[in-house]
Amino acid sequence: MRNRLLLVFLIATLVACSGPAVIPVSDLSRANSNDKARVVAEGDSLYQISWEAGLDYRDVARWNNLDPPYRLSTGQMIYLSDQSLGDTVSPVTSQPQPVVIEVSPIIPPAETEPNVESQAVDNSATISMAPIETGHGWVWPADGIVIGRFEDSTGDNGIDIGGQSGAPIQAAAAGKVVYAGTGLRGYGLLLIIKHDETYLSAYAHNRAVTTKEGDEVSKGQVIAEMGQTGAESPRLHFEIRKDGKPVDPLRYLPRKN
């Protein structure tokens, strides 16, 4: 009996010391998609809540009679559907997972590329495809190998670009930072940029950020450092949302030779 109790104690200790589990972004979107309402937690914003639910922030603002700049109060109920349609509301309470963030000056990428060949995907066909939208003159947000592709059917809402911790992350187009924080579970330290009334982009798993909410940023401006907060290895998870819906970033970014 004593040996069995000792074994249980050792297993519990190892689990407690292993840290929070890495939760892929694709496992979160569909889990949150059926929520009809949620209670605002400290630090929540309309953009963050809408992004997590896969909704257009303008719709969420309209359903809740919110006007710009969309200020929320802790404990406030936010509806994630049109209540005029008679939906049954089952609110959820946001419980963001803590993320340890290492803040340091911008570090340029090393001359040698990280060993991510084993993770790289066959993306030659898609990356060689001409972009379908060039109005913003999108640029690549980071240098590196694409190790994860957009797949709407599986909930993979963006692309993953592998690289080295500390490598610069830049804004893919000009816009305004509307969210900077760790409130979206699985995204780590996240930035969301609003480019216009149609497009937003997100930059996840950062080690540190060099901008804050409300900042206007220019295309190509360094906004963060690559990291692995909420990820299993250093990478940038990059998404573009059009009218609140995820679209394939590789159809918007310029063609790579």
pLDDT at 33: 52
As a whole number of angstroms, the distance between CA 208 and CA 213 comes to 14
So what's the pLDDT on residue 15?
39
Type of residue at 224: A
Residues of the chain by 3-state class (helix, strand, coil), percent to 5: 20, 25, 55
Give me the DSSP letters along 153-215: GGTB-SEEEE--TT-EEE-SSSEEEEEEES-STTS-EEEEEE-SSSEEEEEEEEEEES--TT-
124-251 sits in which CATH class?
Answer: mainly beta
- Of 226, 25, 225, 255, which Cα lies nearest the Cα of 140? 255
CATH annotation of 26-93 = 3.10.350.10
Is 0.75 surpassed by the pTM of this model?
no
Q: What is the mean pLDDT of each run of 10 residues along the chain (257 residues)?
A: 51 44 55 75 92 94 94 95 69 50 44 46 48 74 96 91 97 97 92 96 97 96 97 96 96 87
Identify the pLDDT of residue 30: 47
Do 92 and 35 meet the contact criterion of CB atoms below 8 Å apart? yes
Distance CA 191, CA 205 (A): 9
| Listed residue (237, 228, 224) closest to 100, CA to CA | 228
Single out the residue of 133, 134, 107, 219 nearest to residue 174, CA to CA: 219
The residue extents of the domains of the chain are 26-93, 124-251
Could you tell me whether strands 189-194 and 175-181 are parallel, antiparallel, or unpaired per DSSP bridges? antiparallel
Among 248, 250, 244, 199, which residue's Cα sits nearest to residue 52? 244
